[in-house]
Amino acid sequence: MATEAGTAPLVQTNKTNKQSPRRRNSTRTLAVLGALLLLLTAVMLSLAVGSRALAPSVVVDALLHDDGSTAASVIWDVRVPRTLAGIAAGAALGVAGALIQALTRNPLADPGLLGINAGAATGVVLSLTALGITSLWASVWFAMVGAVVAGLLVYSLASGGRGGATPERLALGGAVVAAVFTGISQTLMLLDAQALDQLRFWSVGSLARADSETLTTITPFVVVGLVLALALVRPLNALALGDDGARALGAHVDRTRFLGLAAMTLLCGAATSAVGPLVFVGLAVPHIARMIAGADQRWTLPLSMLLAPALLLFADVLGRVAVRPDELDAGVVTAVVGAPVFIALVRYRRAVTS
């Protein structure tokens, strides 16, 4: 299959492609149902496990009947917003990772590749250092502005010249923008010791600071981003054949890349502002989704949307119990525990496809 230089189509060559269409769709449907069950399990654990463990029956009773008890207050005031933030941020990062890998035809790409996470982080740092804003709710808007600016810069750099915004130009433009914004944010933090202290834990990635106000702010951005991403599944499948093949199938290549970048900007900006620049989730989850369901974006995106929040919530729960009475941030857990798992998955995939 011909592709542009330096790129490779995200084609799955494992046993999934050897199945009949009916059996393959049945396998994919079961995978989605399994991912949904896994997410529900992660949600229940997130509500039940913490510095004070609660029985599942107590959790269900508190959710159905808020009687003002201590357990109900802990669940509704702390754990429900934290869990919902994990679902929103995880779904955003998982789908954003699948989008960037499809748009660049690079299976090692993650949301940070296009500099959107760095732009969002710079917006948060500027809000604190330049304006003294400490409210997480207010910093969400600065993060979104930073993400939008980064996304526009990347697209402007990539679309200039002949051929438009090719995968190589998107990746190179993203690397430049990410380096610039990362340098700006780190310089600002080094010049402001108070800002460095306040942003230290956020920069690792954590669900601990999420509250209902922040969740209300980021939800519209996440919903719009997810809807836009799911609306692009057919042209994204066409892009896997290369730009010429996509155009032959009637796909609008430049429009698809622009809308995909817009969706990633909304998703990454919202997730980064709420829980920090989490790593690994947007890189590994699309890999797992493709191993299960193949390279069809009609299945990869929904699976990523379910598996990523499950992974993030499991990491958050593990961080709560690993070093009791203290707590590990979810970003630390995903990096330490997730990286070896991801390496094992890649090695397994190579063994299957060889």
Assess contact for 179 and 113: CB atoms under 8 A: no
Task: Give the pLDDT of residue 305.
Answer: 95
Assess contact for 138 and 249: CB atoms under 8 A: no
Q: What is the pLDDT of residues 164-214, one digit of tens each?
A: 667 677 778 888 888 999 889 888 888 877 777 667 666 778 888 788 888
- Tell me which range, 39-43, 127-131, 323-327, is most confidently predicted by mean pLDDT: 39-43
Task: Give the pLDDT of residue 240.
Answer: 82
Assess contact for 45 and 142: CB atoms under 8 A: no
Of 37-51, 124-138, 246-260, which gets the smallest average pLDDT? 124-138
CB atoms within 10 A of CB 300: 31
Q: What is the pLDDT of residues 324-345, one digit of tens each?
A: 777 888 888 888 877 777 677 6
Using the predicted structure, report yes or no on whether residue 5 has a pLDDT greater than 50: no
The CA distance from 37 to 264, in Å, is 26
Q: What is the pLDDT of residues 48-68, one digit of tens each?
A: 988 778 888 888 888 888 777
354 band by pLDDT with thresholds 50, 70 and 90: low
Segment (H or E) for 313: helix 297-322
Q: What is the pLDDT of residues 213-244, one digit of tens each?
A: 888 888 999 999 999 999 999 999 888 888 78
Residues 6+ apart with CB under 8 A from 336: none
Using the predicted structure, report yes or no on whether residue 14 has a pLDDT greater than 60: no
* Residue indicated by tokens 């989008």: 99
Task: Give the pLDDT of residue 13.
Answer: 45
Task: Give the pLDDT of residue 43.
Answer: 95
DSSP string for 32-92: HHHHHHHHHHHHHHHHH-SSS---HHHHHHHHH---S-HHHHHIIIIIHHHHHHHHHHHHH
CATH topology for the 30-353 domain:
ABC transporter involved in vitamin B12 uptake, BtuC (1.10.3470)
Q: What is the pLDDT of residues 63-94, one digit of tens each?
A: 888 777 788 888 888 899 999 999 999 999 99
> pLDDT > 70: what percent of the chain?
86
Give me the numbers of helices (H) and strands (E) for the chain, helices first please: 15, 0
CB neighbour class for 353 (10 Å; exposed up to 12, middle 13-18, buried from 19):
exposed
- The pTM for the full model equals 0.84
DSSP string for 217-248: HHHHHHHHHHHHHHTTHHHHHHHTT-HHHHHH
